[in-house]
C-alpha cells in the first residue's frame, strides 16, 4: 500500500482513456479492481464502475495457458513472477457527476478527466454525501453502458446502501425514484427491484 | 400549511369535470371518504371542494396484468404511491381570494380552477368555520361535518326565508333532524312554527328506537310552545298537558279540501266536480246538507238541475261519510281553532298540533290543508294590510308537514294551499318545512322552489334524482348521497348554506338538552336538572 499523503485515501488506478461520459483507468495492482457499481472519483469527477477487464499488456495477443503442471492457480503466478507485469486490470466508469466548488452536481462535467489522473475509491462518507440525491440514476438509466443497465443500477445501489445508516430506507427511496423514472417501463423497474432485495 | 393535513397535488382539472388529485405517498386511499372537504391552495386563491370519488391508479397498465410480488414488503413499499397510487376526485364549491379585499368579501362561487400541482389539504376546522361561520345569534349548531369535530352551524334566519325540505328513507333520522331544526328556529330565528304532528313526536315527547322517549319542544321550551290536540284522550293518556283541543266543523270544510282527498276517499272526477256545484248551490253548510239529502223528489230534481249523476252522488256521499265519521269533526265547532292558533302565533308561541290516534292520512290531509288554508288567508290579508299601512307584518310563520307528497304531488300541487306557499317564496311571511320519504312524489316545480334541502339516505334512484334536480354538480353529490350511513347522516345544500356539506346531526340526548338555554329556566338549572336525569 502506497500513500501519496496523509489526507487522501488510496489511489487505486490511473486514467488511460477519458471521454465526456466515461473514462477508463488502469489499476496499479493486478486484480485490485473496484467492484462493479462502486463510486470512484478522479479530480472533481465522479464515476460509477460499469465494466472491468483483465488482459495481456499487448493488445491483440492473448496469454497462453501455463498451469498444466502446477498444483494450484497461485503456483502459476509464483512460477512466472513476470506475469503480474505482463497482465493488467482496467475498468471503465460512467461519469455521474462532479464537484463544482462546494456543490455536488449530478450531471455531466464541462470537461472530461485528464489522462494519468489518479482514481480513488470514494470512502463511505463521500458515498453517503453523493447519494443524498438520485440524479445519477437518470444518467445511468440513459447511458450507453458496456454492462446491462438493470444490473449496473442495482449494483450501484447495493454498494451505496451500507454507507447509509438506514440502508433499507435508502433503497426504498431509491426504488421510488426509479419507479418515477421508469414509470412506463414496469418490466425494467421490476427487474431492478428484484436485484435490490436479498 | 399544516403538513399533517396534506393529501396530495392537483394533476388534472376542469370546471366541468372537477379536479383530480394524486395522493401523496403516506396518504392512504382508505382514509379518504366521499363527502369530506378539502382545500386546494391555488396561486391566487384557495378553493374549497368536496371529495366525490376515490380511485386507484397505475403508471403502467402492465402492472395490472402481471401484478408485482406485493408479499415482498420492499417491493410493496417502493411501488406504493409511485407506480401505484391513489387519486381523489374533488368537486370545487367555493373560492376565497388571497388578498385582503377578497378575504373580506368572503367565499365566492367557483369560476376557475387551481393550477397544476397545487397542494391539496384536508380542510381544517378553521377553514370550515370560515365558510360556515361560528355559532352566533343566528347560527345554530346542527351537527358536525362528516369525520370532523367541528360544529356545523346553520344560519336559521336565512333558512326560514324560504320553504325547505327534509328527505330520507324511513328510519334515517328525519324526525330527529326536524326536531333539531325546529329547536334551532325557536332559538335563533324570529319565525314561529305550526307543526302538523302526525305521529305525536314534536309536542311533549318523541319516541326513539334506541331508548327511552326523548324530550320534545314543549318540554324544552315551556313558554314558547303550545301543544294542541285532535285527540284529547290520547294526549292525556300519554301524559301530555295540552293547551287546546281542536274540533272541526262541517261548515269549515271547503271543496278544495276534498280535492286533496280524492284518492284516499276513492272519489271519481265527477264526484269532485259535484262538490264545487253543491258548495255553490248549498252554501257554507253544503257538506251537512249534502249528506242529509235523501232520495226524495226534491233532491232528484236538485241533482238533475246540477246534472250530477246518481252514481256520482252516491260515490261522493260515501266519501263525505268517511269524513263525518272522524271523531273530531262536528256539525259546528264551538271555538274556532284557526283563531286560537293565530292568537298563539301572534304572541310568538309556536303550535304543535298532535293527531293522537287519528293517524290515517285522510284525517291528516284534511286537517292540515284546512287549517293551513285559513291561516294563510289571514296572513295574506294581514301582510297586505301591514304593507298598505306601514305597520308590522305578522310573525314569520313556518308550517311543518309530513308525508308532503300527499299535499304536493303533481296532481294536486297546483290546487292546494301548500303548493301555493311553496311557490310563493314567503310572499306573505309563510313558508314550509316539508318532510318526506318519497320526494319523487312531490311536484318538480315545488321541489325546485325549495330553498334548502337536507337529505338523509335515499336509495330509490327517482327519489335521489328529484332531490338533486337542478343542483350543480348533481352527479357528484349523488355519489355522496348514495353513500350516507343508513342513520344519522345527512347532506345539506341550497339557499342557507354556502356550499353542500355532508354532516352528522347532533346527537339528540341529555347533553344536547343541556346545551340549549331557554328563557324562564337558567342554563345552569337546566344542566343540573339534566344531569340529574342522567342518573334516573
Ligand atoms: N340526531 C339523533 N340523535 C339520536 N338518535 C337519533 C338521531 N337521529 C336518529 N336517531 C335514531 O334513529 C331512529 C330513527 O330516526 P327517526 O328520526 O325516527 O327516523 P325517520 O323519521 O326518518 O323515520 C330514532 O328513533 C333514534 O333512535
Ligand atoms: Mg319520522
Q: Are residues B352 and B310 in the same domain?
A: no
Flag whether B325 is in a domain: yes
- Judged by average pLDDT, the poorest of A154-163, B186-195, B303-312, B364-373 is B303-312
Q: Are residues B202 and B262 in the same domain?
A: no
Mean pLDDT of B98-103: 68
Flag whether B474 is in a domain: no
Q: What torsion, rounded to 10 degrees, do the Cα atoms A167, A173, A179, A182 define?
A: -80
Q: Are residues B374 and B417 in the same domain?
A: yes
Q: Are residues B81 and B182 in the same domain?
A: no
Ligand nearest to the CA of B199: 2
Q: What is the pLDDT of residues B397-432, one digit of tens each?
A: 999 999 999 889 998 888 889 999 998 878 899 999
User: b/e map of B82-116 (b: 16 or more CB within 10 Å)?
Assistant: bbbbbbbbbbbbbbbbeeeeeeeeebeebeebbee
- Name the residue among B475, B479, B417 with its Cα closest to residue B446: B417
Flag whether B148 is in a domain: no
Distance of alpha carbon B20 from alpha carbon B177, whole angstroms: 34
Q: With pLDDT > 90 as the criterion, what percentage of chain B qualifies?
A: 54
CB contact under 8 A, A180 and B82: yes
Mean pLDDT of B366-371: 92
Nearest chain A Cα distance for residue B84, angstroms:
9
Confidence check on the interface: ipTM exceeds 0.85, yes or no:
no
Q: Are residues B366 and B236 in the same domain?
A: yes
Residue A102's domain comprises 3-195
Q: Are residues B340 and B205 in the same domain?
A: yes
CB contact under 8 A, B82 and A176: yes
- Evaluate if residue A11 carries a pLDDT over 70: yes
B486: contact with A, CB 8 A cutoff? no
Residue B515's domain comprises 510-536
Q: Show which of B452, B471, B500 is a domain's final residue.
A: B452
- Evaluate if residue B524 carries a pLDDT over 70: no
Q: Are B310 and B271 in contact (CB under 8 A)?
A: no
List CB contacts (< 8 A) between B72 and chain A.
Answer: 197
Flag whether B117 is in a domain: yes
Which atom of ligand 1 lies at the shortest distance from residue B210's CA? Answer: 27
Crossing angle for the helix pair B361-389 and B417-424, to the nearest 10 degrees: 50
Overall domain count for chain A: 1
Q: Show which of B132, B152, B175 is a domain's final residue.
A: B132
> pLDDT-based confidence at B48, cuts 50/70/90?
very high
Flag whether B216 is in a domain: yes
Q: What is the pLDDT of residues A168-192, one digit of tens each?
A: 999 999 999 999 899 888 889 999 9
Flag whether B81 is in a domain: yes
Q: Are residues B235 and B341 in the same domain?
A: yes
Q: Are residues B271 and B356 in the same domain?
A: no
> pLDDT-based confidence at B344, cuts 50/70/90?
very high
> pLDDT-based confidence at B529, cuts 50/70/90?
low
Q: What is the pLDDT of residues B3-28, one digit of tens each?
A: 678 999 999 999 988 999 999 877 88
Q: Are residues B302 and B355 in the same domain?
A: no
Flag whether B314 is in a domain: yes
Q: Are residues B295 and B441 in the same domain?
A: no
- Name the residue among B450, B498, B496 with its Cα closest to residue B470: B450
> pLDDT-based confidence at A28, cuts 50/70/90?
very high
CATH number of the CATH domain containing B240: 3.40.50.300
> Distance of CA B425 to CAs A94, B44, B192, B260, B306, Å?
78, 38, 16, 22, 39
Distance of alpha carbon B491 from alpha carbon B55, whole angstroms: 22
- Judged by average pLDDT, the poorest of B10-24, B332-346, B403-417, B494-508 is B403-417
The residue that leads in pLDDT, B125 or A128, is A128
Q: What is the pLDDT of residues B473-482, one digit of tens each?
A: 888 899 899 9
> pLDDT-based confidence at A51, cuts 50/70/90?
very high
Task: Extract the C-alpha cell encoding A93.
Answer: 466508469
Q: Are residues B271 and B240 in the same domain?
A: no
Return the top range by mean pLDDT from B31-35, B193-197, B497-501. Answer: B193-197
- Evaluate if residue B535 carries a pLDDT over 60: no
Mean pLDDT of B91-114: 82
Q: What is the mean pLDDT of chain A?
A: 90
Q: With pLDDT > 90 as the criterion, what percentage of chain A qualifies?
A: 71
Flag whether B473 is in a domain: no
List CB contacts (< 8 A) between A178 and chain B.
Answer: 78
8-state DSSP, B355: -
Q: Are residues B219 and B287 in the same domain?
A: no
Overall domain count for chain B: 4
Amino acid at each position: 500500500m502506497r500513500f501519496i499523503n496523509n489526507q487522501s485515501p488510496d489511489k487505486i488506478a490511473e486514467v488511460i482513456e477519458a471521454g465526456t461520459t466515461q473514462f477508463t483507468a488502469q489499476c496499479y495492482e493486478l486484480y485490485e479492481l473496484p467492484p462493479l457499481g462502486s463510486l470512484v472519483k478522479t479530480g472533481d469527477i465522479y464515476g460509477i464502475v460499469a465494466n472491468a477487464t483483465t488482459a495481456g499488456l499487448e493488445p491483440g495477443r492473448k496469454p497462453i495457458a501455463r498451469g498444466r503442471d502446477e498444483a494450484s492457480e497461485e503456483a502459476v503466478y509464483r512460477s512466472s513472477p513476470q506475469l503480474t507485469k505482463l497482465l493488467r486490470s482496467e475498468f471503465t466508469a460512467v461519469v455521474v457527476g462532479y464537484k463544482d466548488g462546494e456543490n455536488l452536481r449530478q450531471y455531466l462535467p464541462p470537461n472530461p478527466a485528464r489522462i494519468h489522473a489518479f482514481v480513488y475509491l470514494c470512502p463511505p462518507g463521500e458515498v453517503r454525501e453523493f447519494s443524498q440525491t438520485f440524479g445519477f440514476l437518470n444518467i445511468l438509466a440513459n447511458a450507453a453502458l458496456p454492462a446491462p443497465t438493470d444490473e449496473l443500477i442495482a449494483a450501484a445501489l447495493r454498494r451505496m446502501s451500507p454507507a447509509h445508516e438506514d440502508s433499507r430506507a435508502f433503497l426504498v427511496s431509491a426504488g421510488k425514484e426509479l419507479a418515477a423514472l421508469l414509470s412506463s417501463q414496469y418490466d425494467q423497474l421490476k427487474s431492478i427491484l428484484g436485484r435490490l432485495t436479498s | 400549511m399544516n403538513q399533517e393535513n396534506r393529501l396530495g397535488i392537483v394533476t388534472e382539472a376542469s370546471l366541468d369535470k372537477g379536479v383530480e388529485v394524486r395522493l401523496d405517498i403516506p396518504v392512504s386511499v382508505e382514509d379518504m371518504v366521499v363527502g369530506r372537504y378539502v382545500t386546494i391552495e391555488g396561486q391566487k386563491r384557495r378553493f374549497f371542494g368536496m371529495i366525490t370519488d376515490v380511485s386507484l391508479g397505475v403508471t403502467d397498465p402492465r402492472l395490472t396484468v402481471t401484478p408485482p410480488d406485493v408479499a415482498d414488503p420492499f417491493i410493496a413499499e417502493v411501488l406504493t404511491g409511485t407506480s401505484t397510487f391513489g387519486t381523489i376526485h374533488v368537486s370545487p364549491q367555493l373560492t376565497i381570494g388571497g388578498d385582503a379585499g377578497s378575504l373580506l368579501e368572503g367565499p365566492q362561487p367557483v369560476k376557475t380552477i387551481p393550477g397544476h400541482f397545487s397542494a391539496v389539504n384536508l380542510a381544517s376546522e378553521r377553514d370550515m368555520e370560515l365558510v360556515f361561520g361560528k355559532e352566533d345569534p343566528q347560527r345554530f349548531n346542527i351537527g358536525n361535518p362528516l369525520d370532523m369535530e367541528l360544529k356545523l352551524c346553520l344560519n336559521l334566519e336565512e333558512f326560514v326565508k324560504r320553504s325547505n325540505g327534509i328527505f330520507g328513507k324511513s328510519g334515517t333520522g328525519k324526525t330527529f333532524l326536524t326536531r333539531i331544526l325546529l329547536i334551532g328556529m325557536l332559538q335563533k330565528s324570529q319565525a314561529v312554527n305550526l307543526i302538523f304532528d302526525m305521529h305525536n313526536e314534536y309536542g311533549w315527547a318523541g319516541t326513539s328506537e334506541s331508548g327511552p322517549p326523548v324530550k320534545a319542544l314543549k318540554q324544552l321550551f315551556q313558554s314558547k310552545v303550545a301543544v294542541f290536540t285532535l285527540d284529547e284522550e290520547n294526549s292525556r293518556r300519554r301524559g301530555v298537558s295540552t293547551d287546546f283541543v281542536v274540533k272541526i266543523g262541517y261548515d269549515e270544510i271547503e271543496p278544495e279540501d276534498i280535492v286533496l282527498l280524492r284518492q284516499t276517499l276513492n272519489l271519481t272526477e265527477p264526484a269532485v266536480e259535484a262538490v264545487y256545484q253543491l258548495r255553490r248551490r248549498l252554501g257554507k253548510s253544503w257538506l251537512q246538507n249534502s249528506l242529509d239529502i235523501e232520495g226524495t223528489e226534491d233532491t232528484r230534481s236538485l241533482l238533475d238541475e246540477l246534472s250530477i249523476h246518481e252514481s256520482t252522488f252516491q260515490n261522493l256521499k260515501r266519501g263525505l261519510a268517511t269524513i263525518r265519521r272522524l271523531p273530531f269533526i262536528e256539525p259546528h265547532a264551538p271555538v274556532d281553532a284557526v283563531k286560537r292558533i293565530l292568537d298563539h302565533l301572534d304572541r310568538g308561541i309556536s303550535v304543535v298540533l298532535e293527531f293522537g290516534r287519528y293517524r290515517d292520512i285522510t284525517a291528516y290531509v284534511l286537517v292540515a290543508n284546512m287549517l293551513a288554508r285559513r291561516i294563510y288567508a289571514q296572513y295574506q290579508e294581514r301582510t297586505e294590510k301591514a304593507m298598505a299601512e306601514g305597520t308590522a307584518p305578522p310573525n314569520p310563520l313556518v308550517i311543518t308537514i309530513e308525508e308532503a307528497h300527499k299535499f304536493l304531488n303533481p296532481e294536486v300541487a297546483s290546487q292546494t294551499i301548500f303548493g301555493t306557499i311553496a311557490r310563493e317564496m314567503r310572499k306573505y311571511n309563510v313558508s314550509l318545512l316539508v318532510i318526506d320519504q318519497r320526494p319523487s312524489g312531490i311536484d318538480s316545480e315545488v321541489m325546485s322552489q325549495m330553498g334548502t334541502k337536507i337529505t338523509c339516505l335515499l336509495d330509490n334512484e327517482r327519489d335521489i334524482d328529484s332531490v338533486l334536480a337542478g343542483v350543480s354538480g348533481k352527479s357528484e353529490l349523488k355519489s355522496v348521497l348514495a353513500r350516507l350511513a343508513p342513520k344519522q347522516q345527512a347532506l345539506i345544500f341550497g339557499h342557507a348554506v354556502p356550499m353542500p356539506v355532508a354532516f352528522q346531526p347532533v346527537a339528540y340526548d341529555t347533553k344536547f338538552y343541556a346545551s340549549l338555554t331557554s328563557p324562564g329556566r337558567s342554563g345552569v338549572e337546566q344542566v343540573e336538572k339534566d344531569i340529574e336525569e342522567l342518573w334516573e
